[in-house]
Structure 1
Amino acid sequence: MRTSTRLAGVLTGLTLALGGAAALTAPAAHADVTACINQVERELQGGEAPASIRTACSVGMGGDQKQCVTGLTTGGVTNGTAVSACRVAAQ
């Protein structure tokens, strides 16, 4: 096997290995959802957010702010908190 072919194979393997390691150490995607949920839970004064709130925050993380706000307000969150929580989810 030629040295250049062997070197290319080693570099390809190293790139794939490092890329996989980077994916494992990347911050979790749910961090933004968690911040959204935490804002809502502060309004609920310690109560745990129901599944509908978690779903709305997930939608907000995906970028659909209007649907996020609608989901949160339907779940009993005030409009002001819903808007700010959805804004945090999108960041």
Structure 2
Amino acid sequence: MRTSTRVAGVLTGLTLALGGAALAPAAHADVRDCINVVEAQLQGGEAPSYVVTACKTGQSGGHAGCVTGLTKGGGVTNGTAVTACSAAP
């Protein structure tokens, strides 16, 4: 994985962790935040369906299932998955 891609994912995650997720007014926005973190890493297009499913799992309290769903789907690093799933609940 390219360093610039990894840095972009980490910075996005930090932004969400430090304030972006706290400003989300609705539960639906939390899933969107999770998806946005993954899309920042993948850098291109709409998130695949496995990302949406995993983020919804994270929103309902299944943090471990969310991380597993993102990393097993392919293309999502463990660090990005943890950050994304932390934005979901």
TM-score normalised over the length of structure 2: 0.68
Structure 1 unpaired stretches of 5+: 1-26
Displacement of 1:75 after TM fit? 1.4
Q: Mark the structure with the bigger radius of gyration.
A: 1
Aligned to 2:35: 37
The RMSD of aligned alpha carbons is 1.0
For 1:46 and 1:38, locate their aligned partners in 2 and report how far apart those are by CA, in whole Å.
11
Aligned to 1:80: 79
Aligned to 1:51: 49
Amino acid corresponding to residue 65 of structure 1 in structure 2: H
Q: Deviations over 1:3-39 (max 9, x none)?
A: xxxxxxxxxxxxxxxxxxxxxxxx5421000000000
**Bigger RCO (CA 8 Å, 6+ sep):** 2
Identity of aligned residues (%): 66
TM-score normalised over the length of structure 1: 0.66
User: How many residues get paired?
Assistant: 64
Displacement of 1:55 after TM fit? 0.4
Q: Deviations over 1:38-74 (max 9, x none)?
A: 0000000123111111000000001110000000001
| Runs of 4+, deviation exceeding 6 Å | none
